[in-house]
Amino acid sequence: MNHFNYKNNQLFCEKVFLGDIAEKYGTPIYIYSKATLLHHLDVFKKAVAIVNGTVFYSVKALSNINILRLLSENGAGFDIVSGGELHRCIQAGVDPKRIIFSGVGKSKAEISAALKLGIHAFNIESSEELERISMISELLKQRADIGLRVNPNVDQGGHEYIKTGRKDDKFGISFAEAKELAKSYKDNPHINLIGIACHIGSQILELDGFETAAKQMLALSIELSAVGCDIRFIDMGGGLGVQYNGEETKTPDELLTVYAKIFKDRDEEIYIEPGRAIAANAGMLVTEVEYCKNNFLIVDAAMNDLIRPALYQAKHKVHEVVNNKVSKKTFDIVGPICETGDYLAKGVELSCKTGDLVAIGTAGAYGFSMSSNYNTRPRSAEILVDGDKFTLIRKRETLSELIANEVES
Ligand SMILES: *Cc1c(COP(=O)(O)O)cnc(C)c1O
Protein backbone atom coordinates (compact mmCIF):
# COMPACT_ATOMS: atom_id res chain seq x y z
CA MET A 1 0.00 0.00 0.00
CA ASN A 2 1.25 3.52 -0.72
CA HIS A 3 0.10 7.11 -0.94
CA PHE A 4 0.92 7.90 -4.58
CA ASN A 5 -2.29 8.36 -6.55
CA TYR A 6 -3.73 10.14 -9.58
CA LYS A 7 -6.25 12.92 -9.09
CA ASN A 8 -7.66 14.45 -12.27
CA ASN A 9 -4.81 12.84 -14.22
CA GLN A 10 -2.17 14.43 -12.00
CA LEU A 11 0.12 12.24 -9.90
CA PHE A 12 0.02 13.10 -6.20
CA CYS A 13 2.06 12.03 -3.20
CA GLU A 14 -0.44 12.29 -0.35
CA LYS A 15 -1.99 15.73 -1.03
CA VAL A 16 0.89 17.20 -3.01
CA PHE A 17 1.10 17.25 -6.81
CA LEU A 18 4.54 15.94 -7.81
CA GLY A 19 4.78 18.65 -10.46
CA ASP A 20 4.69 21.33 -7.74
CA ILE A 21 7.67 19.78 -5.98
CA ALA A 22 9.63 19.50 -9.22
CA GLU A 23 8.86 23.11 -10.02
CA LYS A 24 10.13 24.31 -6.67
CA TYR A 25 13.21 22.09 -6.23
CA GLY A 26 14.05 20.89 -9.75
CA THR A 27 14.75 17.40 -11.06
CA PRO A 28 15.88 14.67 -10.66
CA ILE A 29 14.33 14.47 -7.22
CA TYR A 30 13.42 11.72 -4.75
CA ILE A 31 10.02 12.14 -3.12
CA TYR A 32 8.93 10.09 -0.09
CA SER A 33 5.56 9.75 1.60
CA LYS A 34 5.63 10.01 5.38
CA ALA A 35 2.23 8.30 5.68
CA THR A 36 3.46 5.32 3.64
CA LEU A 37 6.65 4.92 5.68
CA LEU A 38 4.73 5.06 8.95
CA HIS A 39 2.03 2.73 7.67
CA HIS A 40 4.64 0.13 6.69
CA LEU A 41 6.44 0.41 10.02
CA ASP A 42 3.12 0.03 11.81
CA VAL A 43 2.19 -3.10 9.84
CA PHE A 44 5.54 -4.68 10.76
CA LYS A 45 5.23 -3.64 14.40
CA LYS A 46 1.76 -5.16 14.67
CA ALA A 47 2.84 -8.33 12.87
CA VAL A 48 5.91 -8.86 15.06
CA ALA A 49 3.89 -8.28 18.22
CA ILE A 50 2.44 -11.81 17.89
CA VAL A 51 5.90 -13.23 18.65
CA ASN A 52 6.81 -10.52 21.15
CA GLY A 53 9.42 -9.32 18.66
CA THR A 54 11.17 -6.13 17.58
CA VAL A 55 11.53 -4.37 14.22
CA PHE A 56 15.08 -3.28 13.37
CA TYR A 57 14.79 -1.17 10.21
CA SER A 58 17.63 -1.85 7.79
CA VAL A 59 19.27 1.57 7.43
CA LYS A 60 20.96 0.90 4.09
CA ALA A 61 17.63 0.82 2.23
CA LEU A 62 16.93 4.52 2.77
CA SER A 63 19.21 6.30 5.20
CA ASN A 64 18.39 10.02 5.25
CA ILE A 65 18.63 11.09 8.91
CA ASN A 66 15.20 12.70 8.77
CA ILE A 67 13.71 9.34 7.80
CA LEU A 68 15.70 7.58 10.54
CA ARG A 69 14.46 10.10 13.09
CA LEU A 70 10.87 9.61 11.94
CA LEU A 71 11.11 5.82 12.21
CA SER A 72 12.93 6.03 15.53
CA GLU A 73 10.28 8.31 17.02
CA ASN A 74 7.73 5.76 15.93
CA GLY A 75 9.36 2.85 17.67
CA ALA A 76 11.77 1.28 15.18
CA GLY A 77 15.14 -0.18 16.10
CA PHE A 78 17.90 -0.09 13.49
CA ASP A 79 20.09 -2.60 11.68
CA ILE A 80 23.32 -1.00 10.47
CA VAL A 81 26.19 -2.25 8.32
CA SER A 82 28.85 0.47 8.69
CA GLY A 83 30.31 3.15 10.94
CA GLY A 84 28.72 5.68 8.61
CA GLU A 85 25.27 4.28 9.27
CA LEU A 86 26.06 4.26 13.00
CA HIS A 87 26.92 7.96 12.73
CA ARG A 88 23.67 8.65 10.89
CA CYS A 89 21.63 6.87 13.55
CA ILE A 90 23.30 8.80 16.37
CA GLN A 91 22.79 12.10 14.52
CA ALA A 92 19.14 11.14 14.12
CA GLY A 93 18.83 10.73 17.88
CA VAL A 94 18.56 6.94 17.87
CA ASP A 95 19.20 5.24 21.22
CA PRO A 96 22.33 3.05 20.71
CA LYS A 97 20.53 0.31 22.68
CA ARG A 98 18.24 -0.05 19.67
CA ILE A 99 21.03 -0.64 17.14
CA ILE A 100 22.27 -3.97 15.77
CA PHE A 101 25.51 -3.99 13.76
CA SER A 102 25.63 -6.50 10.86
CA GLY A 103 28.09 -6.98 8.00
CA VAL A 104 31.07 -9.14 7.05
CA GLY A 105 33.83 -6.54 7.24
CA LYS A 106 33.57 -4.48 10.41
CA SER A 107 36.79 -2.51 10.88
CA LYS A 108 38.55 -1.93 14.21
CA ALA A 109 37.43 1.70 14.20
CA GLU A 110 33.82 0.74 13.53
CA ILE A 111 33.86 -1.87 16.29
CA SER A 112 35.30 0.47 18.92
CA ALA A 113 32.91 3.28 18.00
CA ALA A 114 29.94 0.93 18.38
CA LEU A 115 31.30 -0.57 21.65
CA LYS A 116 31.85 2.86 23.17
CA LEU A 117 28.32 3.89 22.30
CA GLY A 118 26.95 0.68 23.79
CA ILE A 119 24.91 -0.71 20.90
CA HIS A 120 22.47 -3.54 21.44
CA ALA A 121 24.49 -6.25 19.63
CA PHE A 122 27.00 -7.11 16.95
CA ASN A 123 25.86 -9.84 14.58
CA ILE A 124 29.24 -11.39 13.80
CA GLU A 125 29.99 -13.15 10.53
CA SER A 126 33.34 -14.90 11.10
CA SER A 127 35.51 -16.32 13.87
CA GLU A 128 38.17 -13.68 13.14
CA GLU A 129 35.63 -10.95 13.64
CA LEU A 130 34.58 -12.41 16.99
CA GLU A 131 38.23 -12.57 18.04
CA ARG A 132 38.71 -8.95 16.99
CA ILE A 133 35.65 -7.80 18.93
CA SER A 134 36.80 -9.73 21.98
CA MET A 135 40.24 -8.06 21.84
CA ILE A 136 38.80 -4.58 21.42
CA SER A 137 36.25 -5.02 24.19
CA GLU A 138 39.01 -6.26 26.50
CA LEU A 139 41.02 -3.14 25.66
CA LEU A 140 37.98 -0.98 26.40
CA LYS A 141 37.22 -3.02 29.54
CA GLN A 142 33.78 -3.86 28.21
CA ARG A 143 31.69 -6.87 27.40
CA ALA A 144 30.29 -7.02 23.87
CA ASP A 145 26.81 -8.40 23.24
CA ILE A 146 26.97 -10.76 20.30
CA GLY A 147 24.69 -12.54 17.88
CA LEU A 148 26.13 -15.28 15.68
CA ARG A 149 25.03 -14.82 12.09
CA VAL A 150 24.67 -18.18 10.48
CA ASN A 151 24.08 -19.17 6.92
CA PRO A 152 21.06 -21.48 6.58
CA ASN A 153 21.97 -22.49 3.01
CA VAL A 154 18.72 -21.52 1.34
CA ASP A 155 18.57 -20.12 -2.17
CA GLN A 156 16.27 -17.08 -2.05
CA GLY A 157 16.24 -13.55 -3.42
CA GLY A 158 15.20 -11.56 -6.45
CA HIS A 159 18.59 -11.47 -8.20
CA GLU A 160 21.92 -13.32 -8.02
CA TYR A 161 23.51 -10.30 -6.28
CA ILE A 162 20.95 -10.09 -3.49
CA LYS A 163 20.90 -13.77 -2.53
CA THR A 164 22.83 -14.01 0.70
CA GLY A 165 21.85 -17.31 2.32
CA ARG A 166 23.58 -19.96 0.18
CA LYS A 167 26.49 -21.81 1.74
CA ASP A 168 29.00 -20.38 -0.73
CA ASP A 169 27.90 -16.77 -0.22
CA LYS A 170 30.23 -14.57 1.81
CA PHE A 171 27.71 -14.09 4.64
CA GLY A 172 27.47 -15.73 8.03
CA ILE A 173 29.10 -18.85 9.42
CA SER A 174 28.07 -22.50 9.23
CA PHE A 175 25.91 -24.05 11.93
CA ALA A 176 28.83 -26.29 12.89
CA GLU A 177 31.11 -23.29 13.34
CA ALA A 178 28.45 -21.48 15.36
CA LYS A 179 28.40 -24.39 17.80
CA GLU A 180 32.19 -24.40 18.03
CA LEU A 181 32.33 -20.66 18.67
CA ALA A 182 29.56 -20.86 21.24
CA LYS A 183 31.55 -23.46 23.17
CA SER A 184 34.82 -21.57 23.06
CA TYR A 185 33.37 -18.14 23.86
CA LYS A 186 30.59 -18.89 26.32
CA ASP A 187 32.75 -18.13 29.33
CA ASN A 188 34.77 -15.33 27.75
CA PRO A 189 34.61 -12.27 30.04
CA HIS A 190 34.53 -9.84 27.10
CA ILE A 191 31.97 -11.61 24.95
CA ASN A 192 28.35 -12.09 25.82
CA LEU A 193 26.72 -14.49 23.35
CA ILE A 194 23.07 -13.53 23.47
CA GLY A 195 21.65 -14.25 20.04
CA ILE A 196 21.69 -15.90 16.67
CA ALA A 197 20.92 -14.23 13.36
CA CYS A 198 20.39 -14.89 9.68
CA HIS A 199 19.42 -12.88 6.61
CA ILE A 200 18.79 -15.07 3.60
CA GLY A 201 18.37 -12.53 0.81
CA SER A 202 16.30 -9.67 -0.49
CA GLN A 203 13.17 -9.17 -2.64
CA ILE A 204 11.90 -12.61 -1.60
CA LEU A 205 8.37 -13.30 -2.84
CA GLU A 206 7.70 -16.71 -1.23
CA LEU A 207 7.60 -17.80 2.39
CA ASP A 208 9.16 -21.27 2.18
CA GLY A 209 12.77 -20.03 2.38
CA PHE A 210 11.99 -18.01 5.51
CA GLU A 211 10.26 -21.06 6.97
CA THR A 212 13.20 -23.38 6.26
CA ALA A 213 15.59 -20.87 7.78
CA ALA A 214 13.42 -20.36 10.87
CA LYS A 215 13.25 -24.10 11.57
CA GLN A 216 17.02 -24.29 11.43
CA MET A 217 17.39 -21.27 13.68
CA LEU A 218 15.08 -22.86 16.23
CA ALA A 219 17.15 -26.06 16.21
CA LEU A 220 20.36 -24.06 16.61
CA SER A 221 19.01 -22.03 19.50
CA ILE A 222 18.00 -25.22 21.31
CA GLU A 223 21.45 -26.72 20.75
CA LEU A 224 23.28 -23.61 21.93
CA SER A 225 21.13 -23.41 25.04
CA ALA A 226 21.99 -27.05 25.71
CA VAL A 227 25.70 -26.18 25.83
CA GLY A 228 25.00 -23.40 28.33
CA CYS A 229 24.46 -20.30 26.16
CA ASP A 230 21.81 -17.81 27.14
CA ILE A 231 20.26 -17.16 23.71
CA ARG A 232 17.85 -14.27 24.14
CA PHE A 233 17.14 -13.33 20.53
CA ILE A 234 16.68 -14.97 17.18
CA ASP A 235 17.16 -12.39 14.45
CA MET A 236 15.50 -13.53 11.20
CA GLY A 237 16.83 -10.63 9.09
CA GLY A 238 14.91 -8.82 6.37
CA GLY A 239 14.22 -9.73 2.78
CA LEU A 240 10.46 -9.53 2.29
CA GLY A 241 9.78 -8.58 -1.35
CA VAL A 242 7.72 -5.68 -2.65
CA GLN A 243 5.69 -5.03 -5.78
CA TYR A 244 7.77 -3.30 -8.46
CA ASN A 245 5.71 -4.32 -11.44
CA GLY A 246 2.77 -6.56 -10.69
CA GLU A 247 4.58 -9.21 -8.61
CA GLU A 248 2.53 -11.04 -5.98
CA THR A 249 4.00 -10.35 -2.58
CA LYS A 250 3.64 -11.75 0.92
CA THR A 251 2.58 -9.53 3.80
CA PRO A 252 4.44 -9.02 7.08
CA ASP A 253 1.46 -10.71 8.76
CA GLU A 254 1.84 -13.83 6.64
CA LEU A 255 5.57 -13.92 7.35
CA LEU A 256 5.16 -13.50 11.10
CA THR A 257 2.42 -16.13 11.18
CA VAL A 258 5.00 -18.58 9.82
CA TYR A 259 7.53 -17.51 12.45
CA ALA A 260 4.93 -17.64 15.24
CA LYS A 261 4.15 -21.29 14.46
CA ILE A 262 7.81 -22.27 14.51
CA PHE A 263 8.81 -20.26 17.57
CA LYS A 264 5.72 -20.90 19.67
CA ASP A 265 6.47 -21.78 23.29
CA ARG A 266 9.94 -20.22 23.02
CA ASP A 267 11.25 -17.40 25.18
CA GLU A 268 13.74 -15.94 22.73
CA GLU A 269 12.73 -12.58 21.31
CA ILE A 270 12.24 -12.64 17.54
CA TYR A 271 13.84 -9.81 15.58
CA ILE A 272 13.17 -8.82 12.00
CA GLU A 273 15.14 -6.38 9.86
CA PRO A 274 12.97 -5.11 7.00
CA GLY A 275 14.44 -2.46 4.73
CA ARG A 276 12.94 -2.68 1.26
CA ALA A 277 9.45 -3.54 2.48
CA ILE A 278 9.33 -0.37 4.55
CA ALA A 279 10.91 2.10 2.15
CA ALA A 280 10.51 0.95 -1.47
CA ASN A 281 6.90 1.85 -2.16
CA ALA A 282 7.20 5.00 -0.08
CA GLY A 283 9.35 6.74 -2.68
CA MET A 284 9.44 7.83 -6.31
CA LEU A 285 12.17 9.40 -8.40
CA VAL A 286 10.85 12.25 -10.53
CA THR A 287 12.78 13.17 -13.64
CA GLU A 288 12.26 15.45 -16.62
CA VAL A 289 12.46 14.42 -20.27
CA GLU A 290 15.38 16.28 -21.85
CA TYR A 291 15.08 14.83 -25.34
CA CYS A 292 12.95 12.41 -27.33
CA LYS A 293 14.97 10.47 -29.86
CA ASN A 294 13.45 7.55 -31.79
CA ASN A 295 12.19 5.20 -29.07
CA PHE A 296 14.39 6.75 -26.38
CA LEU A 297 13.26 9.19 -23.76
CA ILE A 298 16.48 10.78 -22.53
CA VAL A 299 15.78 12.03 -19.01
CA ASP A 300 17.77 14.02 -16.45
CA ALA A 301 18.05 11.11 -13.99
CA ALA A 302 20.56 8.35 -14.63
CA MET A 303 22.11 5.18 -13.25
CA ASN A 304 24.06 7.28 -10.74
CA ASP A 305 20.69 8.31 -9.25
CA LEU A 306 19.00 4.89 -9.44
CA ILE A 307 21.32 2.00 -10.19
CA ARG A 308 18.88 -0.88 -9.67
CA PRO A 309 17.93 -1.33 -13.35
CA ALA A 310 21.58 -1.28 -14.45
CA LEU A 311 22.88 -3.43 -11.60
CA TYR A 312 20.07 -5.93 -11.02
CA GLN A 313 18.04 -5.66 -14.26
CA ALA A 314 15.29 -4.38 -11.95
CA LYS A 315 12.01 -3.39 -13.61
CA HIS A 316 10.49 -0.28 -12.08
CA LYS A 317 7.07 0.96 -13.13
CA VAL A 318 7.09 4.39 -14.75
CA HIS A 319 4.29 6.91 -14.31
CA GLU A 320 3.48 10.09 -16.19
CA VAL A 321 3.31 12.94 -13.69
CA VAL A 322 0.53 14.38 -15.84
CA ASN A 323 -1.37 11.63 -17.60
CA ASN A 324 -2.48 13.46 -20.71
CA LYS A 325 -4.12 10.37 -22.19
CA VAL A 326 -3.01 11.00 -25.74
CA SER A 327 -1.93 7.95 -27.72
CA LYS A 328 0.97 6.11 -26.16
CA LYS A 329 4.23 4.91 -27.67
CA THR A 330 6.77 2.40 -26.40
CA PHE A 331 9.91 3.99 -24.97
CA ASP A 332 13.17 3.07 -23.31
CA ILE A 333 13.94 5.57 -20.58
CA VAL A 334 17.66 6.32 -20.50
CA GLY A 335 19.92 8.78 -18.70
CA PRO A 336 22.74 11.04 -19.89
CA ILE A 337 25.58 8.76 -18.67
CA CYS A 338 28.07 7.43 -21.17
CA GLU A 339 27.19 3.74 -20.79
CA THR A 340 24.67 1.63 -22.65
CA GLY A 341 23.78 0.12 -19.28
CA ASP A 342 22.49 3.52 -18.19
CA TYR A 343 18.76 2.99 -18.39
CA LEU A 344 15.90 3.36 -15.93
CA ALA A 345 13.22 1.35 -17.73
CA LYS A 346 12.74 -0.43 -21.02
CA GLY A 347 9.70 -0.90 -23.23
CA VAL A 348 7.30 1.29 -21.28
CA GLU A 349 4.10 2.69 -22.80
CA LEU A 350 3.94 6.44 -22.36
CA SER A 351 2.81 9.57 -24.08
CA CYS A 352 5.66 11.93 -23.36
CA LYS A 353 7.44 14.80 -24.97
CA THR A 354 10.43 16.93 -24.11
CA GLY A 355 9.86 18.87 -20.91
CA ASP A 356 7.37 16.35 -19.45
CA LEU A 357 7.94 14.79 -16.03
CA VAL A 358 7.97 11.07 -15.39
CA ALA A 359 8.11 9.33 -12.02
CA ILE A 360 10.00 6.09 -11.50
CA GLY A 361 7.96 4.12 -8.98
CA THR A 362 9.04 1.99 -6.00
CA ALA A 363 12.32 3.89 -5.78
CA GLY A 364 12.35 4.57 -2.04
CA ALA A 365 14.62 1.64 -1.14
CA TYR A 366 18.13 1.19 -2.56
CA GLY A 367 17.50 4.30 -4.65
CA PHE A 368 19.10 7.41 -3.21
CA SER A 369 21.16 5.31 -0.79
CA MET A 370 22.96 3.63 -3.70
CA SER A 371 23.41 6.83 -5.71
CA SER A 372 26.82 8.15 -6.69
CA ASN A 373 28.54 11.03 -8.42
CA TYR A 374 29.53 9.08 -11.54
CA ASN A 375 30.00 11.36 -14.55
CA THR A 376 30.45 14.15 -11.96
CA ARG A 377 26.72 14.42 -11.48
CA PRO A 378 25.50 16.05 -8.27
CA ARG A 379 23.27 13.75 -6.26
CA SER A 380 19.61 14.65 -6.32
CA ALA A 381 17.57 16.37 -3.64
CA GLU A 382 15.21 14.45 -1.34
CA ILE A 383 11.76 15.56 -0.22
CA LEU A 384 9.48 14.25 2.50
CA VAL A 385 5.76 14.78 1.93
CA ASP A 386 3.42 14.97 4.91
CA GLY A 387 -0.21 15.55 3.96
CA ASP A 388 -0.36 18.79 2.01
CA LYS A 389 3.15 19.88 3.07
CA PHE A 390 6.51 18.96 1.60
CA THR A 391 9.93 19.47 3.15
CA LEU A 392 13.41 19.42 1.67
CA ILE A 393 15.28 16.75 3.67
CA ARG A 394 18.43 16.78 1.57
CA LYS A 395 19.63 19.59 -0.64
CA ARG A 396 20.69 18.93 -4.19
CA GLU A 397 24.50 18.76 -4.28
CA THR A 398 26.27 21.72 -5.79
CA LEU A 399 29.09 21.65 -8.31
CA SER A 400 31.55 23.05 -5.77
CA GLU A 401 30.62 20.32 -3.25
CA LEU A 402 31.47 17.77 -5.90
CA ILE A 403 35.14 18.76 -5.98
CA ALA A 404 35.47 20.13 -2.45
CA ASN A 405 37.63 17.24 -1.20
CA GLU A 406 40.03 17.27 -4.11
CA VAL A 407 43.09 18.95 -2.65
CA GLU A 408 45.21 20.81 -5.13
CA SER A 409 48.74 19.52 -5.37
C1 LIG B 1 20.20 -5.58 3.66
C2 LIG B 1 19.90 -6.27 4.93
C3 LIG B 1 18.60 -6.26 5.45
C4 LIG B 1 17.42 -5.65 4.72
O5 LIG B 1 17.02 -6.39 3.63
P6 LIG B 1 15.67 -6.00 2.84
O7 LIG B 1 15.61 -6.97 1.73
O8 LIG B 1 15.83 -4.60 2.39
O9 LIG B 1 14.54 -6.17 3.79
C10 LIG B 1 18.39 -6.84 6.68
N11 LIG B 1 19.42 -7.42 7.37
C12 LIG B 1 20.68 -7.45 6.89
C13 LIG B 1 21.74 -8.09 7.69
C14 LIG B 1 20.96 -6.88 5.66
O15 LIG B 1 22.21 -6.93 5.18
Find the range with the poorest average confidence among 64-68, 279-283, 351-355.
351-355
CA-angle at 386, arms to 381 and 388, nearest 5°: 105
Q: How confident is the model at residue 166 (pLDDT cuts 50, 70, 90)?
A: confident
Instruction: Count CA atoms closer than 13 A to 307's CA, side-chain side.
Output: 11
The continuous run of DSSP H or E covering 272 comes out as: strand 269-272
Q: Distance between CA 236 and CA 216 in Å, rounded?
A: 11
Query: Tens digit of pLDDT for each residue in 50-94?
Result: 998 999 999 999 999 999 999 999 999 999 999 999 999 999 999
Report residue 179's pLDDT band, with 50, 70 and 90 as the boundaries: very high
**What average pLDDT does this structure show over 292-309?**
97
Q: What is the CA(335)–ligand 1 centre distance, in A? A: 28
pLDDT of residue 172: 87
Counting ligand 1 atoms within 8 A of each CB, the residue from 58, 85, 236, 255 with the most, and so the one to mutate, is 58
- Residues 89, 99: Cα–Cα separation, whole Å: 8
Q: Residue 164 above 90 pLDDT? A: no
Q: How far is the CA of 199 from the centre of ligand 1 (A)?
A: 7
Cα 5 to middle of ligand 1, angstroms: 28
Between CA 156 and CA 202 the distance in angstroms is 8
Residue 243 has pLDDT above 80, yes or no: yes
| Catalytic residue ranges | 338
Q: Tens digit of pLDDT for each residue in 184-213?
A: 999 999 999 999 999 999 999 999 999 999
User: What pLDDT does 336 receive?
Assistant: 97
Contact 148, 197 (CB under 8 A): yes
Percentage of the chain modeled with pLDDT above 90:
91
**Domains of the chain from N-terminus onward:** 4-33+280-402 (2.40.37.10), 34-276 (3.20.20.10)
**Which residue would you say has higher pLDDT here, 326 or 260?**
260
Report the pLDDT averaged over residues 176-182: 96
List, chain by chain if needed, residues with CB within 6 Å of any ligand 1 atom.
Answer: 58, 60-61, 79, 81, 102, 199, 202, 237-240, 273-277
If you average pLDDT over every residue of the chain, what do you get?
A: 96
pLDDT at site 14: 98
pTM score of the predicted model: 0.97
Among 158-172, 200-214, 261-275, whose mean pLDDT is lowest?
A: 158-172
